[in-house]
């Protein structure tokens, strides 16, 4: 049975780099919610800033969730039974829909986590490379509604969590173990939140 790996994580957690490198290493097709949204922005003649991209993505989620997911999968012309790497899952409803859409393939949501100080430094370095001097961008993107569930919901429903500060080769090997159903051999524990609460159990209050 084929495997579909969906990677999630906060801004600048390294999920995009990991997704591309893993897909290249194993020869799997790769799709990205962020790449799709950036393509839409270019088609509309809009600047590809974080604020613009978040607004486009948020509108897709609210107005055409299934169409959004199908368009993202179409980037790789994915067909049932094929393996796939999906990068950029940010909502529980997207995760649940993707899990149904790719069935009967095995589907795993993997959360890539990095401490906030490291993420902020990564984002600022990326902006400097792009010639952008915006000291407030980190705070703005962090508080946008599209990022809310990455902080409050996805940690509870992810199947596995990876430390995004690990070297890429180490992370690739861990994803290989997950996709082959051998996570324990690679010392990857099952998400403790899933064990504690269960996928279908009501999650703790956000109060």
Q: pLDDT tens digits for 14-60?
A: 899 999 999 999 999 999 999 999 999 999 999 888 788 889 999 99
Q: Is residue 204 part of a domain?
A: no
Q: Can you give the pLDDT at residue 122?
A: 75
Q: Is residue 119 part of a domain?
A: yes
Q: Is residue 57 part of a domain?
A: yes
Q: Is residue 203 part of a domain?
A: no
Q: Is residue 116 part of a domain?
A: yes
Q: Per residue in 98-108, pLDDT tens?
A: 999 999 999 99
CATH of the domain at 35: 3.40.50.300
Number of domains in the chain: 1
Distance separating alpha carbons of residues 152 and 205, to the nearest angstrom:
10
Q: Is residue 66 part of a domain?
A: yes
Q: Can you give the pLDDT at residue 199?
A: 40
Closest to 73 measured CA to CA, from 91, 90, 98, 53: 98
Beta strands 160-163; 106-113: pairing state = parallel
Q: Is residue 138 part of a domain?
A: yes
User: What angle is formed at CA 111 by the lines to CA 110 and CA 112, rounded to 5 degrees?
Assistant: 115
Full residue range of the structural domain in which residue 109 is found: 3-197
Residue 206: half-sphere exposure toward Cβ, Cα within 13 Å: 8
């Amino acid at each position: 049975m084929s495997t579909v790996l969906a990677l999630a994580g906060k801004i600048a957690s390294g999920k995009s780099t990991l997704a591309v490198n893993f897909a290249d290493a194993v020869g799997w097709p790769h799709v990205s919610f962020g790449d799709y949204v950036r393509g839409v922005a270019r088609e509309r003649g809009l600047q590809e800033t974080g604020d613009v991209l978040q607004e486009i993505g948020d509108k897709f989620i609210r107005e055409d969730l299934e169409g959004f997911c199908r368009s993202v999968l179409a980037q790789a012309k994915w067909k049932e039974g094929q393996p796939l790497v999906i990068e950029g899952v940010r909502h529980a409803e997207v995760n649940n829909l993707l899990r149904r859409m790719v069935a009967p393939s095995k589907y795993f949501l993997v959360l890539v986590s990095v401490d906030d100080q490291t993420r902020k430094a990564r984002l600022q370095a990326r902006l400097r490379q792009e010639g952008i001097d915006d000291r407030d961008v980190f705070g703005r993107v962090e508080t946008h509604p599209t990022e809310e569930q990455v902080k409050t919901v996805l940690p509870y429903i992810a199947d596995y969590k990876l430390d995004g500060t690990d070297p890429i080769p180490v992370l690739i090997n861990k994803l290989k173990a997950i996709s082959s159903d051998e996570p324990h051999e690679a010392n990857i524990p099952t998400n403790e939140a899933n064990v504690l609460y269960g996928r279908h159990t009501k999650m703790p209050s956000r109060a």
